[in-house]
Structure 1
């Protein structure tokens, strides 16, 4: 009877061990399955994050490529310039009922521009102007030449209405700076005795709309206003009738091409 009782306990103990092992194996399999699923999910998430990061990197690289701008450029152009004041009596250039005196090109310029960023730069130019009376007016004949140079700060107004990294074919620039000029009367049969000319300084303001026609070439229209100080010679080449008159004004409109060098 005692032997039978011990056998039952042994069998019960073995069954408990086997049951425990089965439960443990099931739990172990569940843990393994959970770890496998978690690893798969994490790996997929990591891959997605990598792809997202890679896509963002591509976007950033693309943005940076858009932010690249031309630093150096050369400009060449021709156009119209006209001195508005001072003139001596019976001398003038304006033609009634004609815009810009009939668009007679009498101005030539060459310049260079350097951009510090997409917004700010500076330019320097050399220009020549030839002022002559129009045959359509009753002005007395005259002919003078002006040689001038200017240094100007340049601001891209597109940056105020569009993102900095946005590249547009059309740009609008505002300019402002100082100029130095020499005005030389030209001798002729009607004016044998001419003055030695005059040199003066002034300020210049203007706007320059540009349209990019290729990767490195743009068309520009330069509209400028010049206020001169120390100009003692009139635009017709005579000494000013007013002894204290030392100011002058002119405007110009130039069309040309800009070539990027970098």
Structure 2
């Protein structure tokens, strides 16, 4: 049983989507270049601030340890500041790595058809190579009051709230053939893995749910096990399974 409840589609709307792809049409979501540029600018500012804080904290820690300025409490405070700034820098650097695909994308960031997906104008993904997928849209999720400002900065700097995770056969070759700026979208673990397709950071807000619906329904028509859900446990377990080692198909020898 597939899951589409998170999209809020009626049975009639689902049928319309199926007919849309059945007529050989393709859904295209254009890249929101202005939004991508804004996110990259905010991201650069945060990385710059984190770098300055990290350098200051590291210099302070060095002074305390080797020049004997301050006591144990000062050492602890500077050490904690170094760790916090380092984590912040790493987190936003990873967000930036995924944003880098925007500037090299074609005007149509996502094209979905009955044959497969074309991503960023460079990555062609036929449904026959897709093991399965799970999508979600967390844009309306509640955020604790005290975490509100930090969450707002993360969103402005490229934190993904809506994406589709796809398990892919031959993902390493697919990644190696793609522009380096798109490598941040791939999860390659040995000979297996997949693609985490960011949606809300790349397309206009009004196209996010349509993009999720297009991937899900076109995939289902092609016989791929895909779903869109808001259940966090399902998202986690499906993501781990999709990006993990590929399961062999049951043997059909001797069967008719």
Q: Report the TM-score range of the alignment, normalised by the length of the smaller protein.
A: under 0.3
User: Which structure shows the higher strand fraction?
Assistant: 1
Instruction: Choose between structure 1 and 2 for higher RCO, CA contacts under 8 A separated by at least 6 residues.
Output: 2
User: Which structure shows the higher helix fraction?
Assistant: 2
